[in-house]
A and B are shown apart, each in its own frame.
Chain A
């Protein structure tokens, strides 16, 4: 379906609304100083982004940038893991067999109906304390040779914090995977039954129907809700600061408490999260457009 491009033309109403909004915002900003007794001082911030190492004369990342990198790694790996969980469980949700259906239903309902903080605490103290030693992640940093260490550190951050980072990744992925399961399920079920029947009449197996007929169409439909779920995941990654995962929110609280400059740190970190989430949104917008145009050329 060709979409006509909407024209962006300004009318006087837009102008009035924009001015009104700007005026309101600056009024709020002006009022902040009357309700908030606070000496603003931003001078300390750059020092907590990067630090100058005297001995080597190099610029190294300091706490806030380290936290940002951890949040990025946390986000990337949990998005990958959550997407895998989401697609597996989503397909199981639509299975004809009882066991996969019951299993995935249970997974979704258990996680979706429990507050995130409670889930994170229970998972961290009861379950991840067992998974991490079982996978050998707590002692991994002692078995690494220099090259594998460099690789692992590039992928997952400092080796000494590996078990900490992995707890965060598992926790987030399991949590967000439940929502992705539902998104994938709705995508699969939105494809008309005729499609799989057509596949069946061509002699495709059930798996082949899924692989070649259903999933390609479902994927295109679930991209927008999946993208917004990914963005929610990035923001939600701040919750794992409660179980002391050394990510952006946790480290910024450390900086805020050490320097006692709470508001500067918070405002700055909010900006960082915005940049992170907005660039994620832009990437998905592009992907969506690409998928749409390639789908159009096919038909």
Chain B
């Protein structure tokens, strides 16, 4: 056998293992990240890097193109209390956990609710907010449905934002026969219900209220009660007790002194901020 004939498969198989090398190196990088607490990294860098995703009114862009919202206030205060600058890393919601693990930012402050499944991959601090989830339904398709048992039919379609487990879990629990379709953004999910292509959507307040207010002919709220209570917390990489302790205690202190409650009230219970983003 000519050497070339052996070399080629050997070479090809070695190169095919490239992705595996990538994984190994990525694993090493992850270990390096956790060998030192992220708190030290932040202080050394002089900058807190926060992963977040646009989600009204947690985080959104005002008319100047700057980020505003409840969690933006929270993250800014964290950085201020640490004495460092802040940098927001806007990230697609579906890729936000891998991005944290890959070290693209230090912490997720993104209105992420704690779920056991997510907790297997990343760590959560104490909760800094409790969102209530509401429902908005299509008047045309589901206007005469009895609440809540009328929605448990196989031809009923619920829409959720992709990766929002409180939505999908809640639908599966309450209306096991209904179908679920997922969109990348909340806005698309609501639009689908407004257009009469889906029966209802579940989303954290105040969105169901504000959309129903905007499209009174197309949407209604079968109930004004909260369907579930979410516990939103900061997400950090595993194996970092210092960061866990710092962020959890920051949340505890600012819960006790009422600061979190006050900001939460401003963003979720009032619409005083609406003219900053040109929303109607």
Given A122-B19, A126-B26, A254-B90, A38–B95 Cβ distance below 8 Å? no
Q: Which residue of A lies closest to B277 (CB)?
A: A258
The chain B residue sitting closest to A128, CB to CB, is B102
B residues in contact with A260, CB < 8 Å: 56, 187, 190, 279
The distance from the CB of B98 to the nearest CB of chain A, in whole angstroms, is 6
A interface, CB within 8 angstroms of B? 35-39, 41, 44, 47-48, 51, 62-63, 66, 98-99, 102-103, 106, 121-122, 124-127, 129-130, 160, 241-244, 246, 250, 253-260, 262
Q: Which of B4, B65, B87, B92 has the most CB of A within 10 A?
A: B65
Could you tell me the distance in whole angstroms from the C-beta of B73 to the nearest C-beta in chain A?
Answer: 16
Per the CB 8 Å criterion, the residue count for chain B at the interface is: 50
Q: Is B29 an interface residue (CB 8 A)?
A: yes
Also in contact, A126 and B19, with CB within 8 A (given A41-B280, A250-B90, A260-B56) = yes
Is the CB of B239 closer than 8 A to any CB of chain A?
Answer: no
Please tell me if the beta carbons of A102 and B22 are within 8 angstroms of each other in the complex: no
Q: Using Cβ atoms and an 8 Å threshold, which residues of chain B touch A246?
A: 90
Contact (A129, B194) CB under 8 Å given A63-B61, A262-B188: no
1/0 per position for B1-15, CB-CB distance to A under 8 A? Answer: 000100110011001
Closest B residue to A106 by beta carbon equals B15
Complex: how many Å from CA A45 to CA B65?
12
CB distance from B17 to the nearest CB of A (A): 12
Query: How many Å from the CB of A293 to the closest CB on chain B?
Result: 44
- A197 CA to B171 CA in the complex, in Å? 72
Is B84 interfacial (CB-CB < 8 Å)?
no
Residues B92 and A62 in contact, CB atoms below 8 Å apart: no
Report how far A257 CA is from B89 CA in the complex, Å. Answer: 16
Residue of B8, B26, B61, B196 near A130 (CB, 8 A) is B26
Of the candidates A44, A127, A254, A257, the one having the most CB atoms from chain B within 10 angstroms of its own CB is: A257
